[in-house]
Chains A and B, each alone.
Chain A
Amino acid sequence: SQQGEEDPQALSIQEGENATMNCSYKTSINNLQWYRQNSGRGLVHLILIRSNEREKHSGRLRVTLDTSKKSSSLLITASRAADTASYFCATQDGSSNTGKLIFGQGTTLQVKP
């Protein structure tokens, strides 16, 4: 069963604009992760944020986590056509701490050149 719900389901922007994707989850987490999937390929890990962290950066990526609202956002700044892909959030359970990794439905991002 999916833990995370993401919105929007699809996002279309122009190159150079920023893209923001949101993820909500239901249960206590140890960490939240974001992945990228290009069409026909496997998922690639982008960034991991732990439950005691509020913000994390990696290059043009900025992730925030609000555990009180059980939500996270992924911001891609100065987007490029090569950023076109599907983006997924995933959570690892914090209460049982068994390492179970559950994915959301994903956001499909299209960046127009």
Chain B
Amino acid sequence: DAGVIQSPRHEVTEMGQEVTLRCKPISGHDYLFWYRQTMMRGLELLIYFNNNVPIDDSGMPEDRFSAKMPNASFSTLKIQPSEPRDSAVYFCASTLGRNTEAFFGQGTRLTVV
């Protein structure tokens, strides 16, 4: 398996634009996590899914953020409208079952100017 795949790797966008980040988990994994990493706030859990159903979205910072998982092999994190303070590295991770090791993608570095 190629591991968790995120796209794009880098995204530069203007303030106010819509941004969509994509994640393909490892085949067969039933948990998917979205994290945001910044120097100031560290690695924050935004939302996670189990069997495509959102379990906890309490980490989503504002209504501008939304995440979906239409099927077991694809998830998106959307920011609309984007703001400069959304600049960060966004990671997706997946696990096989609960309470097991997580496999991370390479991340998407988002810059909002």
Contacts and interface: CB of A to CB of B under 8 A. Distances in A.
Task: Say if A and B assemble together.
Answer: yes
Interface of A: 1-2, 30-31, 33, 35, 41-45, 48, 50, 88, 90, 92, 97-106
Interface of B: 4, 31, 33, 35, 42-45, 48, 50, 55-56, 59, 91, 93, 95, 98-107
Contacts of B103: 45
Contact of A99 (B44, B48, B105, B107): B48
B98 A43 contact: no
The majority secondary structure among interface residues of chain B is strand
B55 A101 contact: no
A28 to B, nearest CB: 13
Contacts of B98: 92, 97-99
B42 A104 contact: yes
A106 B43 contact: yes
Given A42-B91, A44-B104, A31 B99 contact: yes
Contacts of A1: 44, 59
A33 B43 CA distance: 14
Contacts of A100: 45, 48, 55-56
